[in-house]
Each structure stands twice: as structure tokens, then as C-alpha cells.
Amino acid sequence: MKIRKGTYVLVKTSMFLLVLGILLTSYELVALSVFPILFLLTPTFPVRVKILGHHLEGGGYVGENFKVVITMSASGFGVLKVMHKLPEHFELSKGSNAAARFVVGSAGIRIDYEAIPTKRGRYSLGKVVVQVENPFLTGKLFVRELEVPLEIEIKQRVPKVIKIGVHRGIARSPTPDVDISKIGVPGTDFREIREYVSGDPVKFINWKASARKNEVMVNQYEVEGKKSVWIFLDGNPYMRHGELIRNYFEAAVEATNAISYYFTQRGYRVGLYIIGHRKYLYPDTGRRQFRRIVDELIRVEPSENVESLEEAFENSKTLLITYKPLIYFITRIEYSKPVRAVLKASKISKRGRKAPVEVIALASNEKTEEDLSALALRILRGSLEARIRSAGVKMTVWEIEKPLSQILLREVLYA
């Protein structure tokens, strides 16, 4: 048990007087030794605290100020301290999230502050910690929590990506800007006649062909719409490296946000696989799909379990074969060693065509001391970059301290 300073001081004084009194056989000193102890007998009286109102204004994005006002009433006797508990990733910018009062009878307390969230996520601001102690700051400290129904969702601002590097071309394009989708709304261009499968619209049944073959046949048309994009976001434990607010994983989330926003806005189907969590979102289009991705990215944190990129590829292979998307791997290549996964991904297309795959390799330009391990990592990264590039896969190295849009735009210019 931790002895409070006030208690310690009073006990120490009393003990000194008592010991001196016993040594000198002095009645006066022994009698005086009771004096400090009397203050320890002061109990901590209960103080009732009620939350009268609360208000949350602003916020929503990383780095954007929000304001909180909580009004309370207290009744009782003692020293009261109240604190609105803030999550770890919040910084106070104005005012204080705590208040203290000497309560005699009844008193009103107001907490009024502004804070800045520094990390994405869905946070509960629902706890107000109340501390009550006696006026001498001795004795028991009563601590309890009150509930306030306050919640805040902090999103990462999507970096404005003007253009992502594309190479136009029929089917061989490494990006799907003008490619024809494998699935989607059927158009008017006839492709082939095939056997009926459950779910095919009746209007597509080719009655003449069905009569000839003695089984139900349907016309297959080329589908309209654009191709899909599939993002592999690496959420393995090594992505956690860096500062709490800005680390590799946060940079990877930012890149995923930017790419998915760019493509969903242009009508592509965007799917997501979070490596390490074995979690995926089916490809879909539009704002709703972007919202789904953002919701997933708000919650996600680096995993405790390791999943290789190859495993991730195998887990989503069926979908990749169905959609034949442009595949993005966002990872730290020196840890994930993605060469085999990238090669496998680029071979999912039939007829010998290479599927479009792109690797966004996260790096840092920190000026660290060049020790042996750093040198080994640098050499390994260089070797992996060379192997990926020699396999004909596009690779973008992003130093996470630089803005993402600048890197992607540079890729366009160089292309």
C-alpha cells in the first residue's frame, strides 16, 4: 500500500515526539505526539458527483481540433478532482481535461478543453474519473468512474492523388484504366454461347441453340464496366516499426486509403486483403465500397501473427482468378520478401499474359547509424528490388516521410 505524503509527514512527526518523550521520560512530549495523529483521524467524506450535460464539437480527422464541454454538479465535503479520460493518441491544445474543487456543500464543475487526435480510430470518450480526498490530503483516496455517452471517429485524411501511373493497352495493361472487366453488367457485344447455369437471366436463353443441343444454352455478352483493383495491405508485426503516430503501418494505411479512393471514384471495383489478419473485402464499386474500406482501416492495427504474402495470395486466389484485378502489394519488402508471391500473382492470367501487379515498397530515409544490421537490410532491399523489377513487375519505393501523392505522380511522369 502506498502511504500518502500527508500521512507520512504526520506519522513521522508523531513518532519523533513519542520516541523523544519515551527517551526523556517526558509526559509533555508523549502528550504532544498525539497532536499530529489527530489530523489522520479526519475521514474522507463522500462527495456525490452528477453529470449535468456534455457536448462534443468538431473533429473527425487526424490533426483536426475538437472541443469537449462537460458540466457536473458535486455535493459533499472534501477535495474533488475530476478528469475526462482521453485516449493515448490525443493531445490537448487548449484548456484542461481535468478540474479540481474544494467542495463544501454543493458546487458546480465544468471541464472545457480542446484536443487534437493524432491517430485514426474509433475512440470512446465515455469515462470521467472522479477522485475524492479529505482536506488534509491524508487518508483514503476514493476513485471512481462516471459514464458519459461520448464517442468520436477519427479518419485519416485521404491524400489527394491526382494521377496514378497507367499504361493504356488492351488486356496487357498493367493498370485497368481501359481494360474490359470479366464480370459486370452484360453489354450488347456478343461473346459466345454456353450452357445455362443457375442464375442466368431467362432473356439470354438462346432457344434455337437449346433445341439443337437438347439442353438449355444461353448467349454470353461482353460485360460493361472497368476492371478490378485488389490491394494487399501488409499488417504483419514488423509494420509496427517507427513512431507511435507515424510508422510503416500508418503509412501503408494512408497508401491504401489513397489508392482505394482514387479507383473507387473512377468506377473501379476495389477489393482489400489485410495480411496478418486474414481478412478481406470483396471487390465492389462506388462510395459505399470506399466507406467500407475506410471503416475497416479505422479499426485495423498491426497483427500479432505473421502471415506470409504467399499465404495471403493463396487465401484470395479464387477471387483473384475470378476478377483478374490489378494487384497492389503494400509492404516492407526487406521483411516480407514478396518475390514469390508477386511472381505467382502475375501468372494468374491465362493465355500467358502477365497479370498487372505493382509493389509499393515502404522505406525510410532516417539518418541512422550505419551499423552492420542496417547495411545488411539495405543490401537485402536492393537485391529484392532488383529481382522484382527484373520479373517485369512495377515497383514504387516510398520513403514514408515524403508525401504519397508526390511519389505516385513522379511514377506517372517517369512512365
Q: Would you tell me which residues interact with other proteins (CB under 8 A)?
A: 1, 5-7, 9-13, 16-17, 20, 23-26, 28-29, 31-32, 35-42, 79, 83, 86, 91-93, 95-102, 104, 129, 135-137, 139-140
CB of 32 to other proteins, least distance (A): 5
Fill in the amino acid letter for 9: V
Task: For residues 60 and 260, give the distance between their C-alpha atoms in angstroms, rounded to a whole number.
Answer: 20
CB of 91 to other proteins, least distance (A): 5
- Residue 86 or 342: the one with the smaller Cβ distance to other proteins is 86
CB of 66 to other proteins, least distance (A): 14
Fill in the amino acid letter for 76: G
Coil/strand/helix, residue 374: helix
- Residue 89 or 387: the one with the smaller Cβ distance to other proteins is 89
For strands 326-331 and 279-284, give the pairing: unpaired
Task: For residues 407 and 386, give the distance between their C-alpha atoms in angstroms, rounded to a whole number.
Answer: 19
- Residue 7 or 265: the one with the smaller Cβ distance to other proteins is 7
DSSP for residue 175? S
Beta carbons of 408 and 261 less than 8 angstroms apart: no
DSSP for residue 203? G
Cα–chain center distance at 255: 12
User: Which has the closest alpha carbon to 166: 227, 252, 223, 254?
Assistant: 227
- Residue 16 or 190: the one with the smaller Cβ distance to other proteins is 16
- Residue 11 or 69: the one with the smaller Cβ distance to other proteins is 11
Region of residue 156 (phi > 0: left; psi between -120 and 50: alpha; otherwise: beta): beta
- Residue 90 or 280: the one with the smaller Cβ distance to other proteins is 90
- The CA angle 262-263-264, to the nearest 5 degrees, is 100
CB of 68 to other proteins, least distance (A): 12
CB of 135 to other proteins, least distance (A): 5
355 exposure class (CB count in 10 Å sphere: 0-12, 13-18, 19+): buried
Sign for the CA dihedral angle at 330, 331, 333, 336 comes to negative
Give first-to-last CA distance, the chain, whole Å: 68
- Residue 25 or 390: the one with the smaller Cβ distance to other proteins is 25
- Residue 38 or 376: the one with the smaller Cβ distance to other proteins is 38
Q: How far is CA 158 from CA 90, 120, 251, 273, 408, in A?
A: 20, 12, 12, 19, 14
CB of 180 to other proteins, least distance (A): 54
CB of 351 to other proteins, least distance (A): 59
Which residues have CB under 8 Å from 296's CB, separation 6+?
A: 272, 274, 279, 281
CB of 134 to other proteins, least distance (A): 10
- Residue 80 or 275: the one with the smaller Cβ distance to other proteins is 80
CB of 56 to other proteins, least distance (A): 17
